[in-house]
Amino acid sequence: MNLKWQKTGGGDLSAAEALLKKLEPLCVNACSRFIHREDPDQLWALSGDGTLSALLIHSRRSLFPLLNGNKNLPVPRFLNGFWGRVSIHTLQGIREDVELFEAILDRMGFHLSEKIDYDLMSLDEDPRREALAAGPEGLVLRRAGTQDREALFPLQAAYEQEEVLPQDAPFNPAACRLSLECIVKREQILAAELNRRLVGKINTNAESFTRFQIGGVYVLPEYRNRGIATRMAASLSNRLLAQGKSISLFVKKQNPAARAVYEKIGFKIIGNYRICYYS
Q: Is residue 88 included in any domain, yes or no?
A: yes
pLDDT surpasses 80 at 80: no
pLDDT surpasses 80 at 85: no
Residue-number span of the structural domain to which 42 is assigned: 4-110
Domain boundary among 110, 136, 165: 110
Reported as a pLDDT band with limits 50, 70 and 90, residue 88 is confident
Interval 193-245: pLDDT, tens? 999 999 999 999 999 999 999 999 999 999 999 999 999 999 999 999 999 99
Q: Is residue 92 included in any domain, yes or no?
A: yes
* One-letter amino acid of 8: T
Interval 5-48: pLDDT, tens? 888 866 678 899 999 999 999 999 999 999 987 665 588 999 87
Residues 9 and 61 in one domain: yes
> b/e string for 242-258 if b means 16 or more Cβ within 10 A?
eeeebbbbbbeeeeeeb
Residues 79 and 173 in one domain: no
HEC profile of the chain: CCCEEEECCCCCCHHHHHHHHHHHHHCHHHHHHHHCCCCCCCEEEEEECCEEEEEEEEECCEEEEECCCCCCCCCCCHHHHHHHHCCCCEEEEEHHHHHHHHHHHHHCCCCEEEEEEEEEEEECCCCCHHHHCCCCCCCEEEEECHHHHHHHHHHHHHHHHHHHCCCCCCCCHHHHHHHHHHHHHHCCEEEEEECCEEEEEEEEEEECCCEEEEEEEEECHHHCCCCHHHHHHHHHHHHHHCCCCEEEEEEECCCHHHHHHHHHHCCEEEEEEEEEEEC
Q: Which residue has the higher pLDDT, 37 or 263?
A: 263
Lowest mean pLDDT segment, chosen from 70-74, 119-123, 158-162: 70-74
- Other beta carbons within 10 angstroms of residue 50's beta carbon come to 6
pLDDT of residue 105: 85
pLDDT of residue 10: 60
Total tally of structural domains belonging to the chain: 2
Query: What span, in angstroms and rounded, lies between the C-alpha atoms of 22 and 135?
Result: 37
pLDDT of residue 11: 60
Rounded to whole angstroms, the maximal C-alpha distance in the chain is: 65
Domain boundary among 42, 75, 110: 110
Residues 160 and 249 in one domain: yes
Q: Is residue 278 included in any domain, yes or no?
A: no
Residues 78 and 26 in one domain: yes
Interval 162-177: pLDDT, tens? 999 888 889 999 999 9
pLDDT of residue 47: 85
CATH number at residue 96: 3.40.630
Domain boundary among 110, 142, 159: 110
pLDDT of residue 9: 67
pLDDT of residue 168: 82
Residues 44 and 174 in one domain: no
pLDDT surpasses 80 at 73: yes
pLDDT of residue 55: 94
Residue-averaged pLDDT of the chain = 92
> b/e string for 129-155 if b means 16 or more Cβ within 10 A?
eebbebbeeebebeebeeebeeebeeb
pLDDT of residue 107: 84
Residues 135 and 246 in one domain: yes
Residues 265 and 134 in one domain: yes
pLDDT of residue 199: 98
